Amino acid sequence: MSGEVDISFLQHDTLEAAKNLLGKEIVTETDGGLTSGFITEVEAYLGLEDRAAHTFGGKVTKKNEKMFNSFGHIYVYTMHGHNCMNFLTKDKEHPEGILIRGIEPNAGKDIMIQRRGREKNLTDGPGKLTKALGIRRDLHNGMELNNDILKLMEGKVPAIIEATKRIGIDTKEEAVDFPYRFIVKGNPHVSRFKGKIDENNGWKY
C-alpha cells in the first residue's frame, strides 16, 4: 500500500484509535536495517482513570514521564529486560496510549530472525516485536512518529475486530475486566494465539 498515515486520529478517542491502528504498517529503520509489520494486536490504556495504566492517578515519575505528552509520540518502557512500545493519544492532560502487542512481519524478516535468534514467533508479543523492529527504550523513548526511524504506513484492513480483556494485569482490580484489547480475528501473530487461522490471516484486504 502507499503513503504515510495521517496520525491526527490519535488525538480523539483512544478506544477508536486503537481499533484504527489494526492493520497499519509499522516501518522502522534502525541499526542499518529496515523492518516492518502490520499491527494485529493492541491494548488501550485510558490514563488517569484506568488502574492498569502507568498514568493512573496522574502521578508523574521518571518511569512514566514520557506518557505525559501529546498524541503521535511513543512511550517505551522496560519490563523484565524486555521493551514495550506504546503510541500516545490525546495530550498531556489526558495521558492515554495504545500498547502495540502484536504485528505480522512484512519487510526485513531475515533481520528480525537475526535479532530474535529464532525463526518462529517473531513478533507475537510486545517484548518480541520491539526486539524484532529494533526499538529500544534507551534510544527511542519519547520520540515522535513519522520520521526517518519510525513510520506508520497505510497497510491492511481487518475483516473482523475482536475485543477481549487485556493480558497480564491480574492485580488491577476492576480494570482486569475492561475489554480494551483489540485483535484481528483469525490472525496468528497475536499473543497466546490458539484456534484456527482465518482465510488471508483475517485481513479483509
Partner DNA sequence: GTCTGGATGAGCT
Partner DNA sequence: GCTCATCCAGACC
**118 near DNA (CB under 7 A):** yes
The count of residues interacting with DNA (CB under 7 A) is 34
Contacting DNA (CB under 7 A), which of 21, 27, 40, 45?
A: 45
**200 near DNA (CB under 7 A):** no
Of 30-38, 107-115, 161-169, 180-188, the segment contacting DNA by CB under 7 A is: 161-169
Question: In whole angstroms, how close is the CB of 72 to DNA at the nearest point?
Answer: 17
**121 near DNA (CB under 7 A):** yes
Contacting DNA (CB under 7 A), which of 7, 53, 88, 103?
A: 53
Please spell the DSSP secondary structure of the chain, one letter per residue. Answer: --SB--GGGGGS-HHHHHHHHTTPEEEEEETTEEEEEEEEEEEEE-GGG-TTSTTGGG---TTTGGGSS-TTBEEEEEETTEEEEEEEES-TTS-EEEEEEEEEE-TTHHHHHHHHTSSSSSSSSHHHHHHHHT--HHHHTTPBSSSSSEEEE----BS-EEEE--SS-TTSGGGGG---EEEETT-S-STT--S-PPGGGGB--
Rounded-to-integer distance, Cα 70 and Cα 183, Å: 25
148 or 194: CB nearest DNA: 194
Per CB under 7 A, which of residues 79..108 are in contact with DNA? Answer: 79-82, 84, 86, 97, 99
Question: In whole angstroms, how close is the CB of 166 to DNA at the nearest point?
Answer: 7
Binding residues for DNA, per CB under 7 A? 43, 45, 52-54, 61-63, 77-82, 84, 86, 97, 99, 116, 118, 121, 125-128, 166-172, 191, 194
